[in-house]
Amino acid sequence: MNRYPRDFQGHGPRPADARWPRGARIAVQFVVNYEEGGENCLLHGDASSEAFLSEIVGAQPWTGQRHWNMESIYDYGARAGFWRLHRLFTGAGIPVTVYGVASALARAPGQVEAMKEAGWEIASHGLKWIDYKDHTVTAEQADMDEAIRLHTEVVGSAPRGWYCGRTSINTVALAARSGAFDYISDTYDDDLPYWMQVGDRDQLIIPYTLDCNDMRFATPQGFNSGDQFYAYLRDTFDALYAEGAEGAAKMMSVGLHCRLVGRPGRIQALKRFVDYIRGFEGVWTPRRIDIAAHWHAVHPPEPRGPRPSQMDRDSFVAAYGGVFEHSPWIAERAFQLELGPAHDTAAGLHNALARMFRSASAKERLGVLTAHPDLAGKLAAARRLTAESTAEQASAGLDALTDAERARFEALNADYVSKHGFPFIIAVKDHDKAGILRAFEARIANDTQTEFTTACAQVERIARLRLEDMF
């Protein structure tokens, strides 16, 4: 099996309305990342100093040495930046979600107390603010377990949300399989929450953001001033608010760091944005756990439909071998393609099957055409059609013809096959009986190559309709 795990389908071209509480047109969710005291540092048992997300753009880790400037920049976030953000959000009456690094929280009892008194959610941001890309599964699992234990000890309750940020390819699966979290936010792939299937578990994902994020003050391509940050947040809000006004409400995440936006030259941009969104009706500013509770209640996991990309070969061919009439070889070949979540829909699976039909030889495609029965022909009268063909012909009334109509179809069938060498094929579900007859009478005059091309397109259309019934 050649299977591709990334999901490009998502909510699809017409995502459902989030149906936020009180008819809100948008959910604007603020995250305060609390990492100060959890970053790479020799004092924390790490081999090198921190080099990520500071005023020292392009910093490199100092192996075996403490980096006094880097440490003091992080210290600013705890000593001053946090309290500036705390005053802003408590003054505005907006509760936030804290992504709290467990070891950083353990070094910040005063800040933790302030978070709890403000009613802020404290989600887990891992054990340490370090990169997990090179960790073994066992080592990462151990750190995750310790993060939950230490967080519970320091905060007084277990974290219900998870965001690592500096992940490995295993992070999300490990968090999901733990069963410890109401939601996971280690993705950036949507404007709405969604359910991810991890093994037998349905895990809620609430995507996060790296664009509406003050981290871009600390990257080479990013915000150079508060005005740029404010403008980007405002434009994002305006676009999503407009979509919500049109009936497709979305979520906007705003990522903040105490040591970055907590600087006085940047905090005013955030304040302007908070003031801006307060001028609109229908704006919900929840914690992330509130979004999770809403999604669990209003948008629970739907019953699992067929997942072709997860089937074994025999099950796949048994299920889809008849989509192209009497031609299971198409499904057999499609099974060998690079299938993934995008193919677990009628449109996606149809594309895979149609590719194998299109890439087949002319002789093989002709075989598919000749496998189709005549419309209202002898096989139909003898009730020897496949279940799919029987239902399709019945949908257009071809199972209840007058003697004159039946005679007309039989004559057209005979003339068409005699001329072109394969039966007349049309997706009858797209037409009524009169329309089918008109198409029959018009197409019979075409040259055979034109009809071959037309018939192949109709075969693909029939397959699509059959798959839509299955899904």
| Active site amino acids | 372
Angle of the 448-470 helix axis to the 346-358 helix axis, nearest 10: 150
C-alpha angle 132/163/68, rounded to 5°?
A: 60
Query: What is the CA angle 198-204-206, rounded to 5?
Result: 125
Closest CA to 57 of 73, 78, 79: 73
Two tokens, residue 13 = 């071209």
**Residue in 256, 254, 222, 225 with CA at minimum distance from that of residue 237:** 254
Q: How many Å separate Cα 121 from the centre of its chain?
A: 25
Q: Rounded to an integer, what distance in angstroms lies between the CA atom of residue 320 and that of residue 317?
A: 5
Query: What is the residue whose two structure tokens read 């055409």?
Result: 369
d(CA 94, CA 273): 13
CB 19 within 8 A of CB 354: no
Instruction: Give the Cα separation of 381 and 449 in Å (integer).
Output: 30
How far, in Å, CA of 15 to CA of 248, rounded?
7
Cβ count near 421 (within 10 Å): 13
CA distance 180 to 117: 24
Residue 266: which of 309, 230, 222, 238 has the closest Cα? 230
Per-residue CA distances from 223 to 36, 189, 252, 286, 307 (Å) = 22, 22, 19, 26, 43
